[in-house]
Amino acid sequence: LVPVDVTGARVLVIDDNPVNREILLEQLRSWSFDCAAAESGAVGLAFLDRACQLGASVDCIILDYQMPGMNGADVAKAIAADSRLSSIPVVLLTSVDQVDFGRMVIDFGIVAHLTKPARSAVLLGTVISAIQKARMQGTKAHFVRE
């Protein structure tokens, strides 16, 4: 099995904590991902909607669980319910280990769950694996990068 090249893959970080967002963006950029961040679930969903309108693909979403307004489960549910977005792999980050992750995998298609702070190597491996798996399943539309 030939590994799928994920260089330049687009990753969206949705996290209400500005420090966490910046750390994640820095890490993702250092690994050659094309990344963006949203400070809330609503902003993240608006970003994804706009990306769809522009024909831009998002290859992976890193989603914080504990956020005011829409929490990670609410955002994951909205993503799973939108046929344009439901094939995008979602990696859930939590600072607490109380989340019923098994239930969310079944209900909303979460592909991985990491407890914060996630070690760099684990985060990188998880994101690469999620993108490769999604691409190999071929369920994701591929857009030509302009």
Q: Is the pLDDT of residue 138 over 70?
A: no
- Domains contained in the chain, CATH given: 10-137 (3.40.50.2300)
Q: Write the single-letter amino acid at 123.
A: L
Mean pLDDT of 9-33: 94
pLDDT value of position 133: 87
CA 45 to CA 49: how far, in whole Å?
6
CA dist 144 → 42, 56, 85, 134 (Å): 27, 8, 17, 17
Within 10 A of 59 (CB to CB), how many other CB atoms are there?
A: 21
Write down the pTM of the prediction: 0.86
Give residue for tokens 């950029």.
29
pLDDT digits (tens, 9 = 90+) for 70-119: 999 899 999 999 999 999 999 998 876 666 666 666 677 788 888 888 88
pLDDT value of position 104: 66
